[in-house]
């Protein structure tokens, strides 16, 4: 197992890059380092931002610098046990198809499956929260089963509501804002990933698991 690569990211940030692609083993190292830094932060560290293969460390450049942060982080990155020991599991009810999942029929047609087979495959997926990005509360989930992998649409479509459950390639996402998307919308959930009024606005933590369940139409 090779060590991460440290890359300056402007005057006040350091990127710890573990390399690779969407892979739970790599991401487990990202999460382990994030937790280690929560328990033992270096002086001047103000924020950590986990992603699929990296951890961005934001610091106050008036207090510390890249070299000091790297010296603190390097042994933690080498020694922190990879894993998701503290990960929560969240159950997300979904209404599939119809107005809630306007792309379900086309997804099924493109994949050579029935709509019910698409739903069954999606429900059987093993989903992990990898990162937040693009828009507030947009939690990118890995774990979409291989038979459901489709590239994004050629053009984004407007008008999808909050709670839309959509897939593209190996990823799944639940929308938190009405926004155009080129992903395939197969269902909708009443669960809200983002609550700006709550003490904890984001429902998920990176590393958590998500389990989708089928909800009856209303």
pLDDT in 10s for each residue of the chain, 218 residues: 577 899 999 999 999 999 877 888 889 999 999 989 999 999 999 999 999 899 999 999 999 999 999 999 999 888 767 777 778 999 999 999 999 999 999 999 999 999 999 999 999 999 999 999 888 889 999 999 999 999 999 999 988 999 999 999 999 999 999 988 999 999 999 999 998 888 889 999 999 999 999 987 54
Q: What is the pLDDT of residue 214?
A: 96
* Cβ–Cβ under 8 Å, residues 197 and 150: no
Pick the CATH number of 5-79 from 3.30.465.10, 3.40.50.2000, 3.90.550.10, 3.30.1360.40: 3.30.1360.40
Asked if 35 and 28 touch (Cβ cutoff 8 Å), the reply is no
Q: How far is CA 97 from CA 23, 79, 100, 102, 121, in A?
A: 30, 46, 6, 6, 14
Could you give the angle at which helices 115-124 and 104-111 cross, rounded to 10 degrees? Answer: 90
- Superfamily for the 89-214 domain: Cyclophilin-like (2.40.100.10)
Q: What is the pLDDT of residue 86?
A: 77
């Amino acid at each position: 197992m090779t060590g991460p690569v440290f890359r300056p990211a402007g005057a006040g940030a350091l990127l710890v890059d573990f390399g690779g692609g969407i892979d739970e083993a790599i991401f487990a190292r990202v999460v382990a380092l994030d937790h280690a830094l929560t328990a033992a932060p270096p002086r001047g560290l103000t924020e950590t931002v986990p992603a699929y293969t990296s951890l961005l460390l934001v610091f106050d450049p008036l207090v510390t610098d890249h070299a000091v942060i790297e010296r603190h982080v390097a042994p933690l990155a080498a020694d922190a046990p990879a894993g998701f020991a503290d990960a929560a599991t969240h159950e997300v009810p979904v209404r599939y198809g119809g107005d809630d999942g306007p792309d379900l029929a086309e997804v099924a047609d493109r994949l050579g499956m029935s709509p019910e087979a698409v739903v069954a495959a999606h429900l059987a997926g093993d989903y992990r929260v990898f990162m937040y990005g693009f828009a507030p509360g947009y939690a990118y989930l890995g774990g979409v089963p291989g038979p459901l992998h489709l590239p994004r649409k050629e053009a984004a479509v407007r008008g999808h509501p909050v709670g839309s459950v959509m897939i593209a390639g190996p990823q799944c996402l639940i929308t938190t804002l009405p926004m155009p998307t080129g992903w395939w919308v197969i269902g909708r959930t009443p669960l809200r990933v983002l609550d700006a009024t709550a003490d904890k606005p984001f429902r998920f933590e990176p590393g958590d698991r998500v389990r989708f369940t089928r909800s009856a139409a209303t």
